[in-house]
Structure 1
């Protein structure tokens, strides 16, 4: 009977040791996740600003070069851009190729406004602009002011190029290199972004079947497409347009990126 009196204490000692070991293992795993996983990003201000772990890139086309960034903007950022833009919306204009001035045209029927230099100092706008610079690899100072647009039912923008064909707009910052187009809302029907020269299939553009690539707006997503090719020349395949909104309304924000500083 004597040996049996040591059995229970021994089992208790081993169990206690195993429990302590398990706690050390859990602590190690927690520390590993903290330094290499999302917990580390959540506590890193820079990572949070860039939405690391949320933004997911997807290459849609190599010619023209088009990248879709899922979850590029947060819901709060989308709603904020809409709220500051809404009181200042005016009929959208286009650039006149002969004079370089902005003029009204029936090829673009949306409403829009540009953020101001004061708006660019707002922390949430600064965060968005830095995120654009990091993901596009184009410096913040090479970007134009963000333009916020609203398309109502039957409003559209016919296919066009973002690069300039006049000498006036090249004086400040040079040619447009790329465009970051951010979607601030979903659209019930229509409102797709249309690239006639991308892809070889068919897609729906405002309810009409067309050849090319059509991207349906999704709140928070963004597309980066390049107006210049790898040879440094303007890329005619970057032709794009905004399909008519069939149902609901569409809000978007655009930032054009130049060869050199714009301010």
Structure 2
């Protein structure tokens, strides 16, 4: 399970065909752009629920039932969000690389993702511990003791991540022993700052979009 920090996603609207982009996932790129900018969304029959969870008011939006995609509104306390941002800004973020086939590192300036970021161990700061326990209370079916450290991401102007899947394709794993390391079964995204432009979480195959506010999961 990976926790991301979403910041502005700004993309070019100059290309007229997905073939103009020429990278993995490019066949979904124009759909993703429209969804990201809020120009269209297929979420017309979405469900919203509000319930009391041991004195916590939960606001839940069901984006999709298959696959399961859920948004918990205002799940993380705003004070904790501000403290997390302050703690993260005190550290250092670098342009991230991604893994290619057989574990090779691709260039940070790749055609797949351009973002700054860092890893934050769950127990490294008071803020990360608070976030960890808040997520565990929220996501009871998941045992976060087996989760990866938090991954902090910042998408600045020109940053992007092409349509992708977060789990590892077992047929192409190659360099990984998944019986030892395990595989991802879920991704939790925590929004710490709302982007001024773009920044939506998009699902091109579903024609659905989730626009997250600070504190949403």
TM-score, normalised by the number of residues in structure 1: 0.54
Unaligned runs of 5+ in 2: 1-51
Deviations 1:73-95 (A, max 9, x none): 12222222222222310102222
Identify the match of residue 108 of structure 1 among 104, 107, 113. 113
Matched, 1:71 2:79: no
97 and 182 in structure 1: CA distance in 2 versus 1, 3 angstrom threshold? same
Matches within 5 A, 1:16-55: 52-55=55-58
126 and 64 in structure 1: CA distance in 2 versus 1, 3 angstrom threshold? same
Q: Which has the higher strand share?
A: 1
Say if 1:82 and 1:148, in contact at 8 Å, map to a contact too.
no
Matches within 5 A, 1:1-263: 52-86=55-89, 87-99=91-103, 101=105, 104=108, 105-116=110-121, 120-136=123-139, 137-165=141-169, 166-169=173-176, 170=178, 172-198=180-206, 212-222=207-217
Unaligned runs of 5+ in 1: 1-37, 42-46, 199-211, 223-263
167 and 77 in structure 1: CA distance in 2 versus 1, 3 angstrom threshold? farther
Q: How many aligned positions are there?
A: 159
Instruction: Tell me, in whole angstroms, the C-alpha distance in 1 between the residues paired with 2:80 and 2:104.
Output: 32
Say if 2:97 and 2:105, in contact at 8 Å, map to a contact too.
no
Deviations 1:217-246 (A, max 9, x none): 311111xxxxxxxxxxxxxxxxxxxxxxxx
Say if 1:78 and 1:220, in contact at 8 Å, map to a contact too.
yes
Q: How much does 1:164 deviate? A: 0.9
Larger RCO: 1 or 2 (CA < 8 Å, sep 6+): 2
Runs of 4+ in 1 over 6 A off after TM superposition: none
Kindly name which structure, 1 or 2, has the bigger radius of gyration based on alpha carbons.
1
Instruction: Tell me, in whole angstroms, the C-alpha distance in 2 between the residues paired with 1:168 and 1:66.
Output: 30
167 and 132 in structure 1: CA distance in 2 versus 1, 3 angstrom threshold? farther
